Amino acid sequence: MADTLFQPLVLGGGALRLKHRVVLAPLTRTRASEADMAPQSMCAEYYQQRASEGGLLISEATNISMESCGYHRAPGIWSEAQVSAWRCVTDKVHDKGGYIFCQLWHIGRVSHPSWSQHPLLAAAKASGAPMPSVSASEVAMPGKTYNVYPEGSKGPNAAPRALETAELPRLVADYRHAARCAMRAGFDGVEVHAAHGYLLDQFLRTGTNHRTDRYGGSVENRSRLLLEVVAAVLEEVGVGRVAVRLSPTQPGAFDFFGAGDENHMDADGCNVTYRYVVEQLNAKPLAYLLLTEPRWTGGRQDNDAEKDPGFNMPITNSSTYRKIYKGVLMAAGGFVPSTAAEAVAAGGCCDLVAFGRWFLANPDLPKRIQAGAPLNHYRRATFYTHEEEGYVDYPDLAGSVGQAGKYALIDASALVAPKAKL
Ligand SMILES: Cc1cc2nc3c(=O)[nH]c(=O)nc-3n(C[C@H](O)[C@H](O)[C@H](O)COP(=O)(O)O)c2cc1C
């Protein structure tokens, strides 16, 4: 069955010639340098370890501008220092015959105004550069946040500044600039992150978008900013080099940063907001559309993979939107090798599967899946630390990278109870 994951696939009208369907999902790993928010040499090593001949990696979410920042030690892609640091990463991936897309990120209200004290931002603030935190409307996230500057502090979420209509072309230009930087850094394409309750998703969702201009209200208006960004980035980097990530809400799904959406599901089981967006994306020559499966729990069961209900829950988003989206569809969230192989089999619900937690813990995941080999168990405690541990020390089967024997092994077939198989 795993064979279905090892069928070639041409993306972007020939721009990418994949040899298999096992993709590295975008994963924030917070190992960039503090001072200039650029990837460090261990980041190049991490991506190199996970690259494979004809395999696709998606970078961690990467800030498009100073205004977009808010996660400690997440990288950016707007400055020359960042472009040259990312070049070291992309060169290493290409040396192994792999491809890598850059995920373009603006976190919007998930940031905190204290971020303007970061030395890199403070210098620019003095000359009037836009600062965090902004959103579609002045709706604060519920609860407290760790995205406070400096690192280690925690505070109540502040209401973001609502972006003015007149400055939205500037925002689109920021995405365009970041996309240009990404291509100069050697990326094979860019993925517009419009999922998980970050800025573009804040415009899509009624809970966070209360605007009365042409970017708020109707679904056409709430989708406008995303579609303008996609059009601009496509114009900048070219056909087949742009992808989009969405996380359509399903009833009872994980609620990303409290960004609610009151829109209903239609008779096909589609949230009407996302149905409209996906239909619009059909007209764009994308490399792929990545959908987050709502069965991903966002971390609560990460300490005990065997008990993660995501692995035993049906795939909902990609099977639903497969009927609407005409291009290459990628799914992520709660996949194990067997469910991934079924998902891409003939008549399945997607063309590619992005693995998050299993790929971060298994640098040679495609090889392990092909061989039916056991997987290194991931360790959540080091997902977001800033050191090499939990980042570049997961071993491969060949014993050429990482520390052999450091992580417990798990038989992947044990992760899906037979009765709950898809
Ligand atoms: C440590 C970690 C960091 C993540 N960072 C990002 C990110 O930067 N961008 C993004 O779109 N999704 C991010 N996600 C979500 C993953 O891309 C993926 O959808 C999720 O891990 C579910 O897939 P899995 O069950 O294979 O782990 C992250 C998930 C984890 C566990």
- For 109-166, write each residue's pLDDT tens digit: 999 999 999 999 999 999 999 999 999 999 999 999 999 999 999 999 999 999 999 9
Ligand 1 pocket mutation, candidates 27, 43, 192, 292, criterion most atoms within 8 A of CB? 27
Does pLDDT of 367 surpass 60? yes
Chain segment 22-46, per-residue pLDDT in tens: 999 999 999 999 999 999 999 999 9
CATH for 2-420, options being 3.20.20.70, 3.40.50.1980, 3.60.15.10, 3.40.50.2300: 3.20.20.70
Domain boundaries in the chain? Answer: 2-420
Distance (Å, whole) CA 363 – CA 396: 6
Ligand 1 pocket check for 69: Cβ under 6 Å = no
Predicted confidence (pLDDT) at residue 422 exceeds the cutoff of 60? no
Question: What is residue 252's predicted lDDT score, i.e. its pLDDT?
Answer: 63
Identify the residue whose C-alpha is closest to ligand 1 atom 23.
Answer: 333
- The alpha carbon of 278 and the centre of ligand 1 are apart by a number of angstroms equal to 21
Angle, vertex CA 152, rays to CA 193 and CA 115, nearest 5: 50
Is 31 touching ligand 1 by the criterion CB < 6 Å? no
CA neighbours within 13 Å on the CB side: how many for 62? 35
Render pLDDT for 176-223 as a digit per residue (tens, 0 to 9): 999 999 999 999 999 999 999 999 999 999 999 999 999 999 999 999
145 lines ligand 1 (CB under 6 A): no
Does 198 qualify as catalytic in the annotation?
Answer: yes
Select the more confidently predicted residue: 267 or 79: 79
Ligand 1 atom nearest the C-alpha of 384 is: 1
The minimum-distance atom of ligand 1 relative to the CA of 245 is 11
Q: Band of the pLDDT at 299, cuts 50, 70, 90?
A: low
Out of 47, 99, 175, 198, which one is annotated catalytic? 198
Pairing of strands 155-156, 352-355: unpaired
Give the nearest ligand 1 atom to 299 CA.
Answer: 31
Residue range 261-281: mean pLDDT, rounded: 91
Distances (CA, A) of 20 to 17, 91, 245, 279, 344: 9, 20, 20, 27, 11
Antiparallel, parallel or unpaired: β 22-24 and 352-355: parallel
DSSP letter string over 34-85? Answer: TTT----HHHHHHHHHH--TT-EEEEEEEESSGGG--STT--BSSSHHHHHH
Are 236 and 170 within 8 A, CB to CB? no
Closest by CA to 13, choosing from 236, 239, 192, is 239
Task: Give pLDDT, residue 254.
Answer: 67
pLDDT band at 1 (very low <50, low <70, confident <90, very high): low
